[in-house]
A and B are shown apart, each in its own frame.
Chain A
């Protein structure tokens, strides 16, 4: 069936909440307001305010509460209105959620999903436009997922909810309205499995979340110039499915990594390092990265456009790598 990304997330949580009464949803405006981006439409009506909990603007407090509830056997889903506000809760996420299993020598666990939109939308300014996935990926003890399609969003969110670990699940405001085919009936997608979104033989592009759409559009344009691009979406950023990327690079010999986040210490740097270690001999050219510029995201339209990767930049990176610039 054709669903929007927003509807796919809604279905995933709805199905899981019907299945397991230990699951509850907590966050700002998730209940009566139906979610700031309407992802939880109809939830408070179906599950009631005990399980769909509206909070004050206190991310550290309610994230910590959710971690505590998870330690006591519940399975919370925390909705962050946007990932930017996760910074307010970062102490809870990094110092508690990620470490409690380890510090307790395996006695405690924190089955928790923290989800919400990351990345820039349309000119929301520096404090509301950040791609922070690399921060979370850096921390041992967390899983990080950033799906790009409605189908992947649904299957991965269900897996995240069933996982026994803290999972950071990053959506994107500009993806909520996008539509795609979603399997009928019950399904999950395993965490840690990449997906080849387009087959090709000349160059591999790795891109996730919103940037997958940019990469696919670039691949389409390049195909008209006889460049056959393979596009891989890791979907899960940690643990990363390196094998799928390695297999592709062995075939194409060329890798371009696209990410919206900042370049310095970005996720692409890690992926490049992993590929250099695992597949150096197969590379015909240095790995290229197309990233967000290393600046706070500016408000003004032309500046924001300049700060974020777009199709022409991806096309140019691929061409220059193939000596066709």
Chain B
């Protein structure tokens, strides 16, 4: 026992904890009407973004759907700027024009959150096409829910990616629900969602999306293969949405039971990693206390920054519609 890299695990835990506490705070801010519109929380799914992105280089591309805070933060975006975007402030990542569902951080190669289900999957193939075209050894990672898998755009993208051997990794975050619809009522091959990709000749694997180490280990292999030019890959990460679909949906709506949610909460990705760290990486409760304090400070500072930032000048309404020469 105790042969795992302590610092490494502390860093993974810190990232997941940051996402968790950041989002809990966002929910509070939503209740205070500091945040409006749609707010979709990633709570319960943090291990996927953190594990997958940990296997990437800084210059690889990441793109996701509207449940995007986790991916953006895992990519290393400034929590203050993310929170300011949620507040609709001029200092936000997108100067308040995007909002929760449309975070973009180009310097971090976070290419955006998109709110039309399935609509961003073709974009991922385009990013991958561009890197291949320019002979750059980059990979593109595209996150989406299992609810996007049946969409036509997903299938067209899978076929193109396979046909042209594009360096793209599709990560399906199978949290078992698309709004109130369980996967069994949405995907024909619901027991094996990855078949959708396999049917186009894309290699695919399922992983425990509650185990950040498992996600990262699989991703490290996959990234190597994809970077080496072996074509696209599909990962089905099994997870669970602990909260409602968005703030408009109660955390256990009538489409699922409280017991079901509680059952899945037992495999909270933070708990899973913490157990490993306590038993195999010389970590102690004091370490976790320290991380809580550290992350708590970051989140508090992010909220303060967002709150104190100005709203955009209405004159900026017409800027950035087009590129001006």
Known interface pairs A123-B37, A295-B321. Does A300 touch B186 (Cβ–Cβ under 8 Å)? no
- In the complex the two chains form, what is the Cα distance from A301 to B97 in whole Å? 9
CB contact under 8 A between A33 and B180, given known A57-B186, A127-B115: yes
* A57 and B99 contact, CB distance less than 8 A: no
The yes or no answer to A322 lying at the interface (CB within 8 A) is: no
Measured between C-beta atoms, what is the minimum distance from A86 to chain B in Å?
11
Residues of the A chain whose Cβ atoms lie less than 8 Å from the Cβ of B100: 125, 299
B44 at the interface (CB under 8 A from A): no
A57 contacts B178, CB within 8 Å? yes
Q: Among B89, B118, B147, B317, which residue has its beta carbon within 8 angstroms of that of A307?
A: B317
What residues of B have a CB within 8 angstroms of the CB of A28 in the complex? 179, 181
The one of B37, B114, B312 that contacts A303, using a Cβ cutoff of 8 Å: B312
Interface flags for B129-151 (1: CB within 8 Å of A; 0: not) read: 00000000000000000011011
- Given the contacts A29-B180, A299-B102, A125 and B317 also touching, CB distance less than 8 Å: no
- Rounded to whole angstroms, the CA-CA distance of A306 and B314 in the bound complex is 6
Q: Which residues of A contact B214 (CB under 8 A)?
A: none
From B36, B116, B147, B314, contact of A123 by CB (8 A): B36
Least CB distance, A39 to chain B, in whole angstroms: 15
Known contacts A32-B180, A303-B316; A58 and B311 CB within 8 A of each other: no
Question: DSSP class of A's interface residues: helix, strand, loop or mixed?
Answer: loop
Q: Judge if B98 is at the interface, Cβ distance under 8 Å.
A: yes
Residue with the highest number of chain B CB atoms closer than 10 Å, among A126, A127, A300: A300
The CA of A296 and the CA of B187, in the complex, are separated in Å by 33
Which residues in A have their C-beta under 8 angstroms from that of B289? none
Q: Chain A contacts of B266 at CB under 8 A?
A: none
Q: Are B38 and A125 in contact (CB under 8 A)?
A: yes
Chain A minimum-CB-distance residue to B188: A56
With beta carbons under 8 angstroms apart, the residue of B85, B311, B318 that contacts A295 is B318
What A residues does B178 contact at CB under 8 A?
A: 56-57
Q: Is B2 an interface residue (CB 8 A)?
A: no
Residues 39-67 of chain A, each 1 if its beta carbon lies under 8 Å from chain B, else 0: 00000000000000010111011000000
Q: Which of B99, B118, B150, B318 contacts A300 (CB 8 A)?
A: B99
A72 close to B (CB within 8 Å): no
Q: Which residue of A lies closest to B152 (CB)?
A: A60
Check A126–B88 contact: CB distance below 8 A: no
Q: Is the CB of B311 within 8 A of A301?
A: yes
The answer to the question of B117 belonging to the interface, with a C-beta cut-off of 8 Å to chain A, is yes
Measured as residues with beta carbon below 8 angstroms from the partner, the interface class of chain A is 35 or more
- Measured in the bound complex, the distance between the Cα atoms of B36 and A298 in whole Å is 12
Q: Which B residues are in CB contact (< 8 Å) with A128?
A: 37-38, 101, 115
CB nearest neighbor in A for B119: A88
A237 CB → nearest B CB, Å: 24
Q: Does B167 contact A (CB under 8 A)?
A: no
Assembled-state Cα–Cα distance A296/B88 (Å): 15
A122 near B36 (CB under 8 angstroms)? yes
Within 20-43 of B, Cβ neighbours of A (below 8 Å) are at 36-38
- Contacts A57-B118, A58-B150, A299-B88: A124 and B38 contacting too (C-beta < 8 A)? yes
**In the complex the two chains form, what is the Cα distance from A67 to B147 in whole Å?**
23
Asked if A294 is at the interface of the complex by the 8 Å CB criterion, the answer is yes
Which residue from chain B places its CB closest to the CB of A87 in the assembled complex?
B116
Is B70 part of the binding interface, using a Cβ–Cβ cutoff of 8 Å?
no
Q: How far is the CA of A152 from the CA of B163 in the complex (A)?
A: 51
How long is the Cα–Cα vector from A123 to B39 in the complex, in angstroms? 11
Is the CB–CB distance between A125 and B181 below 8 Å?
Answer: no
CB proximity to B under 8 Å, residues A85-134: 85, 87-88, 122-128
- CB contact list, B81-115 vs A, under 8 A: 85, 88-90, 92, 94-102, 114-115
Q: How far is the CA of A128 from the CA of B179 in the complex (A)?
A: 16
Residues of B within 8 A of A126 (CB): 97-98, 102
Quote the shortest CB–CB distance from B65 to chain A (angstroms). 11
Give, as a whole number of angstroms, the nearest-CB distance from A299 to chain B.
3
Using known A-B contacts A123-B37, A127-B114, A307-B317, determine if residue A298 contacts B311 with beta carbons closer than 8 Å: no
Q: Which of chain A's residues have a CB closer than 8 A to the CB of B314?
A: 302-303, 305-306
Contact present for A301 and B148 (CB under 8 Å): no
Give bound CA distance, A301 to B33, whole Å: 11
A294 partner, pick from B96, B115, B321, beta carbons under 8 A: B321
Residues of B within 8 A of A125 (CB): 37-38, 98-102, 115
Q: Which residues of A contact B118 (CB under 8 A)?
A: 57, 88
Q: How far is the CA of A301 from the CA of B85 in the complex (A)?
A: 11
Most buried by A among B36, B148, B153, B185: B36
**19 other contacts beyond A88-B152, A123-B88, A299-B99, with CB at 8 A cut-off?**
A29-B181, A32-B180, A33-B180, A57-B147, A123-B36, A123-B37, A123-B99, A125-B99, A125-B102, A125-B115, A126-B102, A294-B321, A295-B321, A298-B96, A300-B88, A300-B96, A302-B312, A303-B88, A305-B314
Give 18 pairs: A residue, B residue, CB < 8 Å, sorted on A: A29-B180, A33-B255, A54-B185, A56-B178, A57-B147, A58-B150, A60-B152, A61-B152, A88-B119, A122-B36, A123-B36, A125-B102, A294-B321, A296-B321, A299-B102, A300-B90, A302-B314, A307-B317
Q: Which 10 A-B pairs give the minimum distances between C-beta atoms? A: A299-B99, A300-B96, A300-B88, A33-B180, A123-B37, A123-B36, A56-B150, A56-B186, A306-B314, A298-B97
